[in-house]
A and B are shown apart, each in its own frame.
Chain A
Amino acid sequence: MQEKPWKPWALLSPSLSAVFLLLVVPVCFIVVYSFWLRAPSGADIPAFQFGNYAKFFEDFFYPSILIRTIRVALETVILCLVMGYIPAYFFYRSESRHKSILLLLIMLPFWISFIIRTLSWINILGDSGLINYLLIEMGILNEPLSMLYNEGAVLMGLLQYLLPFMILNVYVSLDGIDKSLLEAARSLGCTEWQAFKEVVLPLSMPGVSAGCLLVFVLTAGTYLPPMILGGPGNDMIANLIFKRIIGTLDWPFGSAISVILLVLLGIIVFTYNRYLGINQIFKTLQ
C-alpha cells in the first residue's frame, strides 16, 4: 500500500484545530495579558513587565494559598486512592453477572451536574441538614454540629467529585491482570493477602498512578467545592484567580496567577510522568 504521510494529519486536523483554537490560543492570550499593566480606570495598558508576578511573591499571602492548594490536592489523592482502590478491587474479583451494572452505577453521578451534587452537601452537612436533624431528633445532640465551611467539607466535596475517576482508572488496570496469575501465586504458597501484595498491587500501579495524577490535577484546578462548601480560609488557587478576574476585574494579575498555576502543574505532571507514570506503564508492558 502506498504511504500517504499527510493522511494521519488530515484525520487529526478537526481535533487539532479545535485544541489550537479553543485551548492554545486562549492560553496565549492569558500569557500575554499577564505582562500587562492594570490601569486605575479604563482599559488595561499593554506592556511587558513582571510586576504582576512580583506582586504574587511580594509576601506570603498568595504563595500560602498555592501551598494550601497542593496540600489539599495531595490529601484528596490519598483519600481517593484508599477509598477508590477497594471498590475497584471488589469489581475485579467479583464473579457477578451484574458487574457491568455496578460499573454503570459508578458512572451515574456524572449524569447529575457537578454544581448540584456539590450544593446537595449543604442539605446533608448543614446546621439544619440531614445529619444534624437526625442526631438532634434522636437526642444525641442538643445543638447542631458545625460541619460545613471547613476543609473537611471541601475534601468531602472533592472526594465525591473525583472518586469515580480513581475507581475507573484503577479498575481498568486491575481488569487487565490475568486471574490465573493470582491462582499461580496461591498455588505456589501465597495467602490471599500475599498474592495481592506480590502480584495484584504492583501490576495495578499504572492505573493507580494515572488515577492519582488525574485527581491531583483536577483538584489543583477546581474552585467549586471550596467556593460552595469551604469557609473564607479554605480558598484554593483557582478561587483566587476567580476573585481577581470576576471580583476585582484585575485581569493582568489573575492571568499571572493562572500562568503560575499552569507552570507549576506542568512541572509536577512532567516530573511525575518521568519517574512514576511512564516508567510504571512501561514495566507492565514488558
Chain B
Amino acid sequence: MTQERNPRLVRFEGIVKRFGTVTAVEKMDLDIAEGTLVTLLGPSGCGKTTLLRMIAGLEDPTEGDIYIKGERINDIPIHKRNLGMIFQNYALFPHKTIFDNVAFGLKYRNVNKAEVEKKVTQALEMVRLPGVEKRMPAQLSGGQQQRIALARAIVIEPDVLLMDEPLSALDENLREEMRREVDNLQQMLGVTTIFVTHDQREALSMSDKIVVMKDGKKLQEGTPDEVYNQPNNHFVADFLGHSNFAEGEVVGKENRFVKVRLKDGTIFRVEDTGRFQEGEPVELVVRAQKFDAFRQEEFTPDPEMNYFEGKIRDRSYMGGEVSYFVELPDGTEVHIISMMRTRIYEVGDSVSVQVAPRHCHLLPIET
C-alpha cells in the first residue's frame, strides 16, 4: 500500500447502546487503523456483537457517533455503507448457486457482466474453492460454506470486513485451518477487519490488536502480547490464559524491584513499573506457565528468584504439557503448567516452585 494508512479508519466516539433498561455498550471510544485485524474479545453478553452490528448498521447506537473514513455513518442506511459481513451460520442464500451468492453484492454496484464473472472467479480462487460456481450452498461442507461467505464479502471490496464469531460453528481442526486462512487472506488483501470472538486463542493468534470487553465496557486494548503479558486488570488476566492470583501489600522497593508481602507472609519481588507505592494493597498475578517446579531436595534457591514450597495435589496431562495443582502449607492452591520435557511429578511429591520477578505482575485491588 503506497498511501499513508489511516490510523482511524473506523472510529467510535462515546458509543452507548441500550436495549430497554439493559445497557449493552457503555461509553465506548475506539479507533481502528486501516489494514489491521482488530478482535473484540469477551464472554457472551459483553456487547462485542452489538458493537459490530452498530458498525454494520443492523443496530442504531443510543448515543455517540461512528465514523468510517472520517465520515459520520450513524444515519447512512446499511446498504450504502460498503461493508462485508460474515456470520456465524454462514448466511449463504440457499436458493442461489454459489456463483449467484458471490456475485450478489456486485449486482448492486453497477458492475458489467464480464467483470462480474472475472471478479467471482478471482474471489473463489482466493478462498481456494475454484470451480464450484454451479453448485448450491447445501452441497458444500460447513468450512467450504464459510469460505464462500468470505468470498461473497471480499468480492465487493468493502471498506471494513466484519466477522461475527465466524469460526465457532466449525469443528476444532477445521477452525484452526480456517483461522489461518482468514488471517492470510486478511493480510493479502490488507482489508481492515473487525473480528468478534469469545475464543482467546483465536484472538491471540490472529489479531493486530485485541480489545477485551466485559459488561459493555472496554477493559484493555493492545497487541496480543500486551494484553496477554501485561494485563491491566483482574478480568483480563483471568480471561486470557491460566493465571494465579494472590492479594498482598507493597512493603518496599529495592533496586528495580517492588517487594510485595502476600497474606501468608511470603515476600515476592516484582519488576517495578512505578504504578504502585509502598503501603498500597495489590493483587499479584502469575501465569501458570511461568512457574518452574523442582524436587525439594535438588533445589538450590536463587536470590534473584521468587520461590515457595508445596505438595502436588492434582496432576493432569494436556498433550504437550502437564497441569499441576500445588498445595501450599496454608492450604491455598497454585496452578502450574509445565512442559513435558521437564521431570514429571507424582501426586504427593514435595516440590519447590520458582518464578522470575519479570513474570510477576501487580494489579490494583478491585472492589
Residues of chain A having any CB pair with chain B under 8 Å:
178, 180-181, 183-191, 194, 198-199, 202-203, 283-286
Contact = CB atoms under 8 A, between A and B. Distances in A.
Nearest to A194: B108
B108 A286 contact: no
A181 B156 CA distance: 17
B95 A203 contact: yes
Contacts of B80: 189
B234 to A, nearest CB: 35
Given A181-B93, A286-B94, A188 B104 contact: yes
A interface secondary structure, majority: helix
Contact of A187 (B84, B92, B139): B84
B94 to A, nearest CB: 6
B152 A188 contact: yes
Interface residues of B, number: 31
Contacts of B104: 185, 188, 198
A132 B2 CA distance: 78
A177 B211 CA distance: 33
B136 A186 contact: no
Interface string B118-159: 000000000000000000101100000000010010001000
Nearest to B87: A180
A190 B79 contact: yes
Interface string B221-245: 0000000000000000000000000
B105 A180 contact: no
A188 to B, nearest CB: 4
A191 to B, nearest CB: 6
**Shortest 9 CB-CB distances between A and B: which pairs?**
A189-B108, A188-B105, A187-B85, A184-B91, A180-B91, A186-B78, A180-B87, A286-B136, A286-B138
B109 interface: yes
B95 A284 contact: yes
A189 B89 contact: no
Contacts of B92: 184
Contact of B105 (A189, A191, A199, A286): A189
Interface string B81-115: 11111010101111100000000110111000000
A284 B84 CA distance: 25
Contacts of B93: 181, 184-185, 198-199
B56 interface: yes
Given A178-B89, A187-B58, A189-B107, 5 more contacts: A180-B89, A183-B78, A184-B87, A189-B156, A191-B79
Contact of B95 (A186, A191, A194, A202): A202
A183 B152 CA distance: 14
B108 A181 contact: no
Contacts, number: 71
B94 A183 contact: no
28 contacts: A178-B89, A181-B91, A183-B56, A183-B85, A183-B87, A184-B87, A184-B93, A184-B149, A186-B57, A186-B58, A187-B56, A187-B162, A188-B108, A188-B156, A189-B79, A189-B80, A189-B82, A189-B107, A189-B108, A189-B156, A190-B79, A202-B95, A203-B94, A203-B95, A283-B95, A284-B94, A285-B138, A286-B138
Nearest to A191: B79
A181 B82 CA distance: 17
Contacts of A194: 79, 108
B129 to A, nearest CB: 18
Contacts of A286: 94-95, 136, 138-139
B79 A183 contact: no
Interface string B41-80: 0000000000000001110000000000000000001111
A191 B80 CA distance: 9
A188 B92 CA distance: 12
B95 A190 contact: no
Nearest to B137: A286
B57 to A, nearest CB: 8
Contacts of A284: 94-95
A184 B94 CA distance: 12
Contacts of B152: 184, 188
Contacts of B95: 202-203, 283-284, 286
A253 to B, nearest CB: 48
Contacts of A202: 95
A187 B94 contact: no
Contacts of B57: 186-187
A204 B149 CA distance: 22
B155 to A, nearest CB: 9
Contacts of A198: 93, 104
Interface in B268-284: none
A184 B77 CA distance: 14
Nearest to B79: A189
A183 B91 contact: yes
B87 A186 contact: no
A149 B361 CA distance: 89
- Among B87, B94, B104: residue with most chain A CB under 10 A: B94
B138 A183 contact: no
Nearest to B105: A188
A31 B183 CA distance: 71
Nearest to B158: A187
Contacts of B108: 188-190, 194
A285 B81 CA distance: 32
Contact of B58 (A183, A188, A191, A199): A183
Interface string B152-180: 10001000001000000000000000000
A180, A188, A202: residue with the most chain B Cβ atoms closer than 10 Å: A188
Contacts of A178: 89, 91
B246 to A, nearest CB: 45
A178 B88 CA distance: 12
A190 B83 CA distance: 12
Contacts of A189: 79-80, 82, 105, 107-109, 156
